[in-house]
Structure 1
Amino acid sequence: MSWQQTTLGEIADIVSGSTPKSSVPRYWDGAVAWATPTDLSRLDGKHLYKTDRTITEAGLNECSARLLPPGSVLFSSRAPIGLVAINTTPMATNQGFKSFVPRPELNADYLYWWLRANRRQLEDLGNGATFKEVSKAIVSRVKFPLPPLTEQRRIAAILDKADAILRKREQALTLADDFLRSVFLEMFGDPGENPMNWDREPLSLQAEVKIGFPFKSAEYVEEGIRLCRGANTMPDRLEWSDTRYWPVSDAARFAEYALVSGDIILALDRPWISSGLKVAEVVQADLPALLVQRVARIRSSVPAEKPFVFQCLRHPSFWSYCNPTETTIPHISPVELKNYPMIKPPRELVAAFGMIAAKQSVLRQKVEQDAKDARQLFQSLSQRAFAGDL
């Protein structure tokens, strides 16, 4: 690759953000768009059209923020590091940004995708005790490959198309989940309001509720059986990028904590994140795995009833019931989990829903594989693009 090697500071003006005094009303709710990392975290796509909050011209002039022209690349430099967007209208940002105003030799879309592809590297550059932040000085020194503008545009166009394919696959997953939720509500009604006046009974009478074992971290190994922790439990899925292992030779001793396909896993500590309640269903790809303390396993003894139980626990009425206790760490207690008043429809109706869910699961697995293939394709294209191999 014979591309020019430069730095971010040499090919873009790097602009830090700022916040006007919140105690001065005349600085707020004006005509100037004012971005925060939250705006970027909610973004579906790469373009930021508007912001949740606005400031006035007086607010902009009072602080050290600068109005960024359209086509700038916004980059969150703390809490968290690495969110990226391209603004379509003039806007300022808060102090959590180091934004880029590209110079003529730089294409904004190319920079956007490069920042996305190198997020981990940029996160590692952060410093700070309370929270990590990347300074303007550090950002300006980051090495950057700069091909000719025509090549930049070609690379950006390829990654745009690959990203569009990936988004369509992920949207198909969302539609599949929405379909099953709709069928559930049509058949059983809102489980919190219970419009069909079903009887109720504690969750522990419809399924076994098991709390995990306090495996000692000093005995973890480099390879072995996965340990399913709260950190691995995400809304609707288990995530294994941060995995701890237990020795295979010792696994038989903890057979009662082994997971099987169809188990429902609920994080009891810090159970809520921005994308929802940390409750997921175990699939075959998650196995083998053992359950760790402060994580609950909900297991229905009747396979056809598992989808019904899972949908009940995914519903907002369950979230409202299990409000975290007022402690340092938000927590759902095992007692309130076991006592959750589940609706009790006729078993034949629950079984009928189970059959619909089983058919939908086969379709979802195919869509999920398509999405996985699209993610791998996109990652491969990104790596090749910035190595000059496309």
Structure 2
Amino acid sequence: MTKAVELGDIIQLRKGKKATEVHEQRVNGASPYIQIDEVRGATPQKYAYDAKGVTVTPADLCIVWDGANAGTVGYGVDGLIGSTVARMRIKAPEEWDTEFVGRLLQSRFRQLNDEAQARGATIPHVDKSKLEAIELPRIARSEQQRIAAILARADGIQRKRREVYELAADFQRSAFLELFGDPAINPHGFDIETVAKHLSKERAGTQSGPFGSALKKHEYVEAGIPVWGVDNVQHNEFIAKAKLFITDEKFEQLERYRVLPGDVLISRAGTVGRMCIAKPTISRSIISTNLVRVVLETETLLPEYFVALFTYLPHRLGALKANNKDNAFTFLNPKTLKALEIPIPPMEQQIKFKRLSERTDGHLLKMSEQLCGLEDLFQSLSQRAFRGEL
């Protein structure tokens, strides 16, 4: 059996800090500023200087310490880390390969993120003791490099598939612009009306998820009625795989939060404002605390148009501002959403876009399933590597 060593025994952990000087362009003495996006592989967009700052080199590992992305691990970066990032410096680089350690930790993201979320703090942050307790197989550095190369190839296949998927998704955005134009300019002269005017009269037009007092943690069960959360709501994509469940009796108490096919679900935690059309495969389910459900009057406004508008062009929707990260809205609440004015195209054009979306969604679903299969394969390879079996 392969001997194991705890991560805390092989790395020195140091938290970053907010830089004293941050610049939009490189200036003399400034280094690339490494924040969340840079840990995830993005090219640095800012440069910083701080004589007492924490620097990283390509031989170090970085981990996002705070926030919704806590537990994200990256490596191969060079610069000054911000306050949401921590540096993991390998004590004996002649014994441990950075990419090997990094890829194995990346496979533990979900575990690290769940532990961060479970700590009960207003802002999630990594559990230091559990991070340092992660075990790695003690194997020769040459063997580590061989395993890292295998994982790199598997990851490369995933990335290529994902690029194809993103190109198909871009087609939908192009089709949307072709049919409806830029909503900020409204070149076709569509009527501009409030969202409130097009909400359902039969069900609650907007409904926030149940507060903690209505649905407590101890009331969740291992199987039963699904409770959809933030992870189920991706950009214009519903993930029909629940992690949380409630009993039939609890569902009867919370039926006002029920989700039906065609409802629009919006995240109000993590990437705030991310939305999709619900496509549950079972008849009964509800939204969680961190979601908002929107029910439209489909005789005048189709969910396909509504979700595409907010997914592809949120930064062009006046009062509902979006930042530059994942098109996330800087704030979102039902009152703001109801008051927002948007172009309302003729129904025949909305139907045309819906049909096009349905055809494209079929191809995207197949590609998504292939990506899930590749992700499962990658996770399997990673876990075997953790056990020293590759």
TM-score normalised by structure 1 residue count? 0.75
CA apart distance, 1:76: 4.1
CA apart distance, 1:317: 5.2
Q: Aligned match of 1:162 in 123, 132, 154?
A: 154
* Alpha-carbon distance in 2 for matches of 1:373, 1:303: 39
Check conservation: 2:183, 2:317, Cα contact below 8 A.
no
Q: Aligned match of 2:86 in 86, 91, 97?
A: 97
CA apart distance, 1:365: 1.0
Tell me the residue number matched to 1:33. 31
Tell me the residue number matched to 2:71. 82
* Alpha-carbon distance in 2 for matches of 1:184, 1:64: 46
* Alpha-carbon distance in 1 for matches of 2:357, 2:132: 52
Match runs of 1:1-390 below 5 Å: 1-2=1-2, 4-8=3-7, 11=10, 14=12, 16=14, 19=17, 22=20, 29-33=27-31, 35-43=33-41, 50=44, 52-55=46-49, 59-60=50-51, 63=52, 65=54, 68-78=56-66, 81-87=70-76, 89=78, 91-94=79-82, 96-101=85-90, 102-119=92-109, 124=115, 132=125, 143-208=135-200, 209-211=205-207, 214=210, 216-218=214-216, 220-222=219-221, 223-228=223-228, 233-238=233-238, 243-249=243-249, 251=251, 257-267=257-267, 269=268, 273-274=270-271, 277-285=273-281, 288-291=284-287, 295-301=292-298, 305-314=302-311, 315-316=313-314, 320-322=318-320, 330-334=331-335, 336-390=336-390
Tell me the residue number matched to 2:326. none
* Alpha-carbon distance in 1 for matches of 2:22, 2:179: 52
What one-letter code is carried by the residue in structure 1 that aligns with 2:344?
K
Deviates further, 107-116 or 277-286: 277-286
CA displacement 1:191-213 (0-9 Å, x = unmatched): 23211111233334445224257
* Alpha-carbon distance in 2 for matches of 1:347, 1:112: 51
* Alpha-carbon distance in 2 for matches of 1:179, 1:296: 27
Residue 30 and residue 342 in structure 1: after superposition, are their counterparts in 2 closer, same or farther (change >3 A)?
same
How many residues end up aligned between the 2 structures? 365
CA apart distance, 1:362: 1.0
Q: Greater Rg, structure 1 or structure 2?
A: 1
Check conservation: 1:17, 1:64, Cα contact below 8 A.
no
What one-letter code is carried by the residue in structure 2 that aligns with 1:82?
G
* Alpha-carbon distance in 2 for matches of 1:249, 1:17: 46
What one-letter code is carried by the residue in structure 2 that aligns with 1:86?
Y
Residue 24 and residue 148 in structure 1: after superposition, are their counterparts in 2 closer, same or farther (change >3 A)?
closer
1:338 alignment partner, SS class: helix
Residue 260 and residue 41 in structure 1: after superposition, are their counterparts in 2 closer, same or farther (change >3 A)?
farther
* Alpha-carbon distance in 1 for matches of 2:282, 2:154: 27
Gaps (5+ residues) in structure 1? none
CA apart distance, 1:155: 0.9
CA displacement 1:24-60 (0-9 Å, x = unmatched): 99xx95435254442435425xxxx6562232xxx43
CA displacement 1:129-177 (0-9 Å, x = unmatched): 7764566x98777543121223211211111111112222222332222
2:149 alignment partner, SS class: helix
* Alpha-carbon distance in 2 for matches of 1:120, 1:347: 42
What one-letter code is carried by the residue in structure 2 that aligns with 1:217?
L
Check conservation: 2:22, 2:48, Cα contact below 8 A.
no
* Alpha-carbon distance in 2 for matches of 1:264, 1:331: 14
Check conservation: 2:198, 2:301, Cα contact below 8 A.
no
Check conservation: 1:230, 1:295, Cα contact below 8 A.
no
Check conservation: 1:266, 1:279, Cα contact below 8 A.
yes
TM-score normalised by structure 2 residue count? 0.75
Residue 191 and residue 73 in structure 1: after superposition, are their counterparts in 2 closer, same or farther (change >3 A)?
same
CA displacement 1:103-145 (0-9 Å, x = unmatched): 212222111112222346666599997764566x987775431
Check conservation: 1:235, 1:280, Cα contact below 8 A.
yes
Aligned alpha-carbon RMSD (Å): 4.1
CA apart distance, 1:244: 4.2
1:31 alignment partner, SS class: coil
CA displacement 1:295-315 (0-9 Å, x = unmatched): 232335359943222222333
What one-letter code is carried by the residue in structure 1 that aligns with 2:286?
L
* Alpha-carbon distance in 1 for matches of 2:303, 2:283: 18
* Alpha-carbon distance in 2 for matches of 1:134, 1:252: 37
Gaps (5+ residues) in structure 2? 323-329
Residue 119 and residue 361 in structure 1: after superposition, are their counterparts in 2 closer, same or farther (change >3 A)?
closer
CA apart distance, 1:258: 3.3
CA apart distance, 1:228: 3.8
What one-letter code is carried by the residue in structure 2 that aligns with 1:365?
L
Higher helix share: 1
* Alpha-carbon distance in 2 for matches of 1:128, 1:308: 37
2:72 alignment partner, SS class: strand
* Alpha-carbon distance in 2 for matches of 1:151, 1:285: 45
CA displacement 1:64-101 (0-9 Å, x = unmatched): 64x54443323345556433222355x34356423224
2:295 alignment partner, SS class: strand
